[in-house]
Amino acid sequence: RPAMSVLDRFRLDGKRLFITGGSRGLGREMSLACAEAGADVVLVGRNTDSPETTAADIRERGQQAVTITADVGQLDQCESACQTALQEHGPIDILINNVGAARGGDVLVLPTEQIDEAMGLKTYSYLRMAQLVIPYMQENQWGRIVNIAGGAGSSPDRKNIPTSLANVAILNMTRALSDAVAGDGILVNAICPGLTNTQRARDLQQARAEKEGRDPEQILQEFGSNLPAGRIAEPEEIADVVAFLASAPCSYMHGSSLYMDGGERRGTP
């Protein structure tokens, strides 16, 4: 082991990160955490404003940032986004798949097209992005892929089946990809966050808050108080673990799924 500090070993200097959905909420914090560790960042998203805001914050941290507007739910746009990144940024070392919030609906009346939409947005885009960047990682004999799956895969209910099915597929795909590339120096893992303190979390609770005459913040605090952790997650907590999974010291974690849900998940494993 070379003589260097613990913190230095976790640096991402010289690494190039490609992240979908990386400009807002949890994705933004993951982008900034990796940039603070020394990575240059390609931000991919459908929104044309917030990616540039996040890119500016990355540049303030001394790292390069490129923004690409694409709907990665469309597989042809996955390919064009990757080609643009390669041209402007060079081969990708780290891929974080973070795109997509699938629509919910009651399972008794749920149209199957809504499941197709969720699978296309999340699972299929994750797989296609991995397929596109893996050849370059194989050339370098080094790479990291982190799939953000969410906790719904292990906690289905009657209103979240599109997300739940997409997340289950992501977890299985993570294991299959890991098995396929483990011998090439490429690690593929997943993180399953629970409810996290983002603006999207508040937006999702807005209808209930209005119906009950409460503030979304109250509902989130109530939900968190029922968890073993006693609170919901902060985005930075998830982002720091993503930065670890992207680092060189994370060298023996293959095909794993990390649940960061404050203890909500009750199943084993």
**Secondary structure of 192-203 in the HEC alphabet?**
EECCECCHHHHH
Residue given tokens 């989130």 in the structure block: 220
Dist CA 112 CA 172 (whole Å) = 21
C-alpha distances (whole Å) from 170 to each of 122, 150, 202 are: 8, 10, 25
DSSP-derived 3-state class of residue 109: coil
Q: Tens of pLDDT along 96-132?
A: 999 877 788 889 999 999 999 999 989 999 999 999 9
Which pLDDT score, from 0 to 100, does residue 63 have? Answer: 97
Residue 188: closest CA among 263, 108, 97, 113: 97
What count of residues does the chain have?
269
Of 66, 68, 7, the closest CA to residue 38 belongs to: 7
Q: What is the pLDDT of residues 150-197, one digit of tens each?
A: 877 777 788 889 999 999 999 999 999 999 999 999 999 999 999 999
Output the pLDDT for position 2: 57
Q: Which two tokens stand for residue 63?
A: 């790292």
